[in-house]
Structure 1
Amino acid sequence: MWLYLVALLALYLLRRWHRERQTVGNLPDKHVFITGCDSGFGHLLAKQLDGRGLRVLAACLTEQGAERLREATSGRLQTAILDVTRSDSIAAATAWVKGQVGDRGLWGLVNNAGIGVPTAPNEWLSKADFVKVLDVNLIGLIEVTLSLLPLVRRARGRVVNVASVMGRLTVFGGGYCPTKYGVEAFSDSLRRELRDFGVKVSIIEPGGFRTQILDLQLVRKSLEQVWSCASANVKEAYGQQYFESYFEKFKELLSTISPNLHLVTDAMEHALTAQHPRTRYSCGWDAKLLYLPVSYLPTSWADYLLTRSMPKPAQGI
């Protein structure tokens, strides 16, 4: 009996390996639009796809970021300036993409742009702190997608949305985790709606990786600003020691994150170039061996594991 089960598992894995090695043809004729290419995953992916011969349309927030990318890539790669929080900027970028792709349509859309701060215990934050992250990570992603979907449908192409393992398991407060849950939900509905058009939607779920959105100095500065704006009642309830301990725990977490961004960009590249892309790509050992398994545990068990080493507030029980 066990021998049959092992044989079936081996056949399944062999079939999956074979399917995932099959790539789409005519890559040099395919256009891919990537947001957030100033640094991090977007910057590396643009260079990676350019090296594969695809026609990369890279959207950067700043001209300096666009210039750095152009200097590191071939003449095929084209750049545009895009602020995903502004509808006029998205409209201008959409018109530019239409002019670039013509009647062929847009093969790939990679929604990579994102920010990580402000992040802090929720009670320290204001509505504006949440909106700042929501506008970039979720609302901007949705508006970019809706604007470019007709071009993606024309090419029967791909949409690749960058979520996070924090879209499965909330580890800290602020707008980041809610936006990633939202990206998961939006991507799931989009995938089912576009299936009959031949469009495939993939979700990238990175664990912790060393990018600018997790820069330690940026996190510290953001926490200090949030704490300084907190009400007297909040400061009394939590205490200064809690603030310092909270940052130390965040610092400890950031010290363990991976510098190997290729684990994520390789998943993005596979989602764009494989004939049979996966629905979800979990990237990093922390995602595979810690966060995802914990997300399936009973809530009380997950709560204990995530809070047992956290600092205690001054007025806590």
Structure 2
Amino acid sequence: MWLCVAAVLAGLLLLRRWHRERQTVPGLREKHVLITGCDSGFGNLLARQLDGRGLRVLAACLTEAGAARLRAATSPRLQTVLLDVTSSQSIAAASAWVRERVGDRGLWGLVNNAGIGTPIGPNEWLSKDDFMKVLDVNLVGLVEVTLSLLPLVRRARGRVVNVASVMGRVSFFGGGYCISKFGVEAFSDSLRREMRPFRVQVSIIEPGGFQTAMIDPAPLAKDFTRLWERLPAEARAVYGHRYPDRLSKIAALVHRLCSSRLSPVTGAMTHALLSRCPRSRYTVGWDARLFFLPLSYCPAWLADALLGLFLPTPARGSP
């Protein structure tokens, strides 16, 4: 009997949560949302979708060409600004531009989407500069953009949406990408707790594998070759001459397994921005939910064994 009561109560709680999450905030046409990294991928699609719903989208692009393509595909409501998240000067100029447009209403939504994936590869193949190139965009840039615009978000009692990755739970490959996403998770967690008294919601988006430019196998193969060619001869002998080709084949396989539909990710972003009751985390993608998320709770020896199946082996007899 108690089991039935518990099941009914759980069902009612889930039904209540579903009902609350379906309710959207009012006054969408008066709300400003800034999205970084709108030249392509998730940011570009999200900007077009929010513009279609009548929001005042402020789209930050890295290049003028990307900004022009986005303006051509959207309504006159959407405005673009050039933003390089690795430049403090560019961030300050973009923040002043945003402040002029939102005025006393503040900024309802900030979506930190800008990010890069490469260089990636075995950690031993990479230099400090390789790590910093990714960290400057994915983590340090995200933090500086957030700190610059946080007073405007707080004024609107709005939302901060940070794009992390399921790789922020399980580090699958070397380089700065996974490190940066672990950092985004930590920064978002602390920011969420700090902003709760101000009624500012902070959400994390954790996509799994999606076919974005970040994991295009052709550029990755060239990057593996570049990293391989600069290795000392001793290191190349240890790994074996077939190692970079095997890495490229694994990258191509992963790309084929990834989803080409980006809308589940932008749907999670939209929910985080517009729902009356947004979630703290959105794990998106079948691989993220069914494999990587459960794997993050497994013992280290089991996670190492499973992920090791996807890594190439070095040359025989390597020390």
Same fold (TM over 0.5): yes
Q: Distance in 1 between matches of 2:203 and 2:151?
A: 18
Q: Distance in 2 between matches of 1:18 and 1:121?
A: 46
| Aligned-partner SS, 1:255 | helix
8 Å contact from structure 2 (residues 217, 248) kept in 1: no
Percent identity, please: 63
Residue in 2 that maps onto 1:215? 216
Residue in 1 that maps onto 2:160? 159
8 Å contact from structure 1 (residues 91, 147) kept in 2: yes
Residue in 1 that maps onto 2:278? 277
Residue in 1 that maps onto 2:238? 237
Q: Distance in 1 between matches of 2:83 and 2:36?
A: 8
Residue in 2 that maps onto 1:106? 107
Deviation at 1:41? 0.2
Q: What do residues 242-275 of structure 1 show as CA deviations (whole Å, max 9, x unaligned)?
A: 2211221121111100011000000000000001
Deviation at 1:196? 0.6
Q: Distance in 1 between matches of 2:300 and 2:156?
A: 43
| Aligned-partner SS, 2:160 | strand
TM-score of the aligned structures, taking structure 1 as reference length: 0.98
| Aligned-partner SS, 2:266 | helix
8 Å contact from structure 1 (residues 271, 277) kept in 2: yes
Q: Distance in 2 between matches of 1:47 and 1:243?
A: 38
Q: Which runs of 4+ in 1 moved over 3 A?
A: none
| Aligned-partner SS, 2:102 | helix
Residue in 2 that maps onto 1:183? 184
| Aligned-partner SS, 2:19 | helix
Q: Distance in 1 between matches of 2:166 and 2:39?
A: 23
Indicate yes or no: 2:61 matched with 1:60.
yes
1:112 maps to amino acid? N
Deviation at 1:181? 0.1
8 Å contact from structure 2 (residues 60, 80) kept in 1: yes
Change in Cα spacing, 1:112 to 1:309, as seen in structure 2 (3 Å) is: closer
1:105 maps to amino acid? G
Residue in 2 that maps onto 1:200? 201
8 Å contact from structure 1 (residues 38, 61) kept in 2: yes
8 Å contact from structure 1 (residues 33, 108) kept in 2: yes
Indicate yes or no: 2:29 matched with 1:28.
yes
Q: Distance in 2 between matches of 1:33 and 1:168?
A: 26
Q: Distance in 2 between matches of 1:11 and 1:111?
A: 34
Q: Distance in 2 between matches of 1:308 and 1:208?
A: 18
Give the count of matched residue pairs.
317
Residue in 1 that maps onto 2:287? 286
| CA RMSD, 1 decimal | 0.9
TM-score of the aligned structures, taking structure 2 as reference length: 0.98
| Aligned-partner SS, 1:240 | coil
8 Å contact from structure 1 (residues 22, 275) kept in 2: yes
Deviation at 1:308? 2.6
Q: Distance in 1 between matches of 2:35 and 2:139?
A: 15
1:265 maps to amino acid? T
2:217 maps to amino acid? L
Residue in 1 that maps onto 2:47? 46
